[in-house]
């Protein structure tokens, strides 16, 4: 894929992400149940913070939608926006892997950074609970403290698995040597 095509793709992906974030902040406030966006607003949801939650969201939604996306949200968030947040991100991720090789940091550094981001999000979720007494996702109310810790640890294991799978796919598609794009050799 040429550099201009990759740049165009990244610009379109950024515009899409910005549009989705804008749309979430401007859903109809008249139909919004008051408890949906307490403390932290839509920014309390992992979807808004990183969008690549497609598989975990739809797995839990299929099992019991009330655990992650209560029916009361149907009147607040249009169907297209739900799919924009939870479905469309998968093709964007796949296209990103296919469009350009990525240079992953050393395994230890990458996993430490990933763990740090996960820790920050879990801290944010726990902070919201401590302030409001309500869980960001109703699923968390089903767990005692030990169960919640086990759930977060399991979630981290899934995230690490996806990280490793992404690194594996990158290596399978682009090889062990990462191609460095050189703008001076564009015509060759």
Mean pLDDT of 160-188: 73
pLDDT of residue 183: 47
Q: Is the CB of residue 66 less than 8 Å from the CB of residue 137?
A: no
pLDDT of residue 31: 53
Q: Is the pLDDT of residue 184 over 50?
A: no
pLDDT of residue 144: 95
What mean pLDDT is reported for the chain?
Answer: 80
Exposure letters 7-44 (e unless 16+ CB within 10 A, then b):
eebeeebeeebeebbebbeebeeeeeeeebbeebebeb
- Most confident of the ranges 16-30, 89-103, 144-158, 174-188: 144-158
Least-confidence region, from 42-56, 89-103, 115-129, 159-173: 42-56
Please identify which residue in the block is written with the tokens 């299929």: 62
Give the helix/strand (H/E) hosting 170. Answer: helix 145-174
pLDDT of residue 125: 86
**Angle, helices 54-64/89-99, rounded to nearest 10 degrees:** 150
Alpha helices by DSSP H, listed for 51-144, are 54-64, 79-86, 89-99, 107-132
- Most confident of the ranges 6-20, 41-55, 107-121, 165-179: 107-121
Q: Is the pLDDT of residue 56 over 70?
A: yes
Angle at alpha carbon of residue 135, lines to 133 and 141, rounded to 5°:
100
Q: Is the pLDDT of residue 35 over 60?
A: no
pLDDT of residue 28: 55
Q: Is the CB of residue 47 less than 8 Å from the CB of residue 137?
A: no
Mean pLDDT of 145-168: 92
pLDDT band at 44; cut points 50, 70, 90: low
Q: Is the CB of residue 67 less than 8 Å from the CB of residue 136?
A: no
pLDDT band at 41; cut points 50, 70, 90: low
pLDDT tens-digit map of 95-147: 888 888 888 999 999 999 999 988 988 898 898 899 888 888 888 999 999 99
- The encoded tokens of residue 15 equal 């515009």
């Amino acid at each position: 894929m040429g550099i201009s095509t990759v740049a165009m793709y990244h610009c379109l992906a950024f515009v899409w992400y910005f549009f989705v974030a804008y749309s979430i902040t401007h859903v109809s406030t008249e139909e919004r149940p008051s408890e949906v966006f307490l403390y932290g607003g839509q920014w309390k949801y992992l979807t808004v913070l990183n969008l690549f939650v497609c598989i975990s969201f739809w797995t839990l939604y299929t099992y019991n939608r009330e655990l992650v996306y209560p029916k009361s949200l149907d009147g607040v968030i249009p169907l297209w926006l739900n799919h924009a947040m939870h479905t469309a991100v998968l093709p964007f991720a796949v296209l990103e892997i296919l469009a350009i090789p990525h240079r992953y940091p050393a395994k230890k550094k990458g996993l430490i950074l990933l763990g740090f981001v996960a820790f920050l999000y879990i801290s944010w979720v726990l902070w919201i609970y401590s302030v409001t007494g309500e869980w960001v996702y109703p699923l968390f109310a089903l767990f005692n403290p030990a169960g919640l810790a086990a759930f977060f640890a399991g979630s981290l294991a899934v995230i690490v698995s996806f990280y490793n799978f992404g690194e594996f796919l990158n290596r399978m598609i682009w090889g062990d040597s990462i191609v460095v794009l050189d703008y001076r050799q564009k015509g060759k």
